Amino acid sequence: MSASRRRDPGRHSPTIAIKDDGGRFALEGALDIRTLREAANSLNAWQRERKSRTLDLRNLSSLDTPGALLLCDLQQHGIELTGIRNEHKSLLDLICGLERKPLPPQPAVSRGRQLVIELGKGADNAWRDALEIITFVGRAASAIGQAFSHLHSLRLPSISRHIDETGIHALPIVGLMAIMISVVIGYQGVAQLRPYGGEDFTINLVAVSMLREMGVLITAIMVAGRSGSAFTAEIGVMKSREEVDALNVMGMEPMELLVVPRLIALVITLPLLTLFADVMGLLGGAMISESLLHVAPLQYLERVRQAVDDSDLFVGLIKAPIFAFIIGVIGCMHGLRVRGSAESVGQQTTRAVVKSIFLVIVLDALFSILFDKLGL
């Protein structure tokens, strides 16, 4: 009886074999984790034949812990191991002397208790995340202040590149989304107001909602999904390749090189994108007004001028740099959280996008309450 695996002569992979030499069964080759499956299959077939209860190990070239566990199991089933080499005997004595018992069953946890545990874990994680965000906001604000106090440290080429990537390249999708949102608001407004004879107020609805809320909110969500995720992925890949550690070793501050240019670029581009989204939203409202209400473009512009004032535009634009700062901080923070694997990059990118969108919506709600109290 012989069981061996065929190998390419050019490769130096370990082999294992059980040989029958005149009724004497011997294990030859390397018994380690790479040959364990083949050895276990061959030994099981040998045990089923039960021609011999002795296994010679003198030609065994190497042995590791999984292989020693397999041999100890054979001993427990009445197989005698002979010809054990001195370098293998100590490992076999150690492994076979271990008291191997199955782990005791874990006590069952009731659903109510499990729910309380999960709620506690979630609250603890939320608290830690909040503290980390506050800490990172402070570090980022300090780094930006230091950069502006020493203008020679500002990396203008990097800032301009990020403005191009986060702003100019985002114009088509932001404009399209703004038009579509205004079209949806217009259609719903006409459908709801027409039974009361107030469909003309759809123009007011579209103009005010786009300038005060929807323009900046939709733009911030698009930027969070597009640019915030890019920040996390770019810095995360650098972290996984140990490029961030290399910057630290060279005495270069990653916050100054990686975070500050992205934050400055995003704070510049998001208000401009918001203004662009407002214009495109009003354009979409003009399309709906002409098709459903038969209002000419000049009449539409006059109605918009009467419906909105400077405070409506101000309310929308004042939110944009704050949203941009939060999105940039969350994206960069989670990029620096990556721990060296592609899976970690994906996890942190997902968390950054979800957390950015959540915080943008929460801040927008708080701004709505604040502006209502201020009478804006």
Give the per-residue pLDDT at 270: 92
Mean pLDDT of 166-182: 90
pLDDT band at 326 (very low <50, low <70, confident <90, very high): very high
Residues above pLDDT 90, as percent of the chain: 14
The pLDDT confidence band at residue 220, using thresholds 50, 70 and 90, is very high
Q: How far is CA 146 from CA 142, 159, 329, 331, in A?
A: 6, 16, 17, 21
What's residue 41's pLDDT? Answer: 78
Average pLDDT, the chain: 82
pLDDT in tens, 278-322: 899 989 888 888 888 888 888 888 888 888 887 888 888 888 999
Radius of gyration of the chain (CA): 34
Domain layout of the chain by residue ranges: 12-96, 126-374
33-76: pLDDT as tens digits: 888 788 777 777 776 666 667 777 777 788 888 888 888 887 77
Q: Band the pLDDT of 251: cuts 50, 70, 90.
A: confident
Taking the C-alpha atoms of residue 116 and residue 372, their distance in angstroms, rounded to an integer, is: 37
**Residue pLDDT, tens place only, 197-214:** 777 888 888 888 888 888
CATH architecture designation of domain 12-96: 2-Layer Sandwich (3.30)
Instruction: Report pLDDT for 7.
Output: 41
- Rounded mean pLDDT of 71-96? 79
Residue 13's pLDDT band, with cuts at 50, 70 and 90, is low
**CA 110/CA 112 separation, integer angstroms:** 5
Q: Is the pLDDT of residue 269 over 90?
A: yes
Residue 102's pLDDT band (cuts 50, 70, 90):
confident
> How far, in Å, CA of 352 to CA of 335, rounded?
8
pLDDT at 3: 40
In this model, does residue 9 exceed pLDDT 70?
Answer: no
What contacts 213, CB < 8 A, 6 or more positions away?
316, 364, 368
In this predicted structure, what is the pLDDT of residue 296? 84
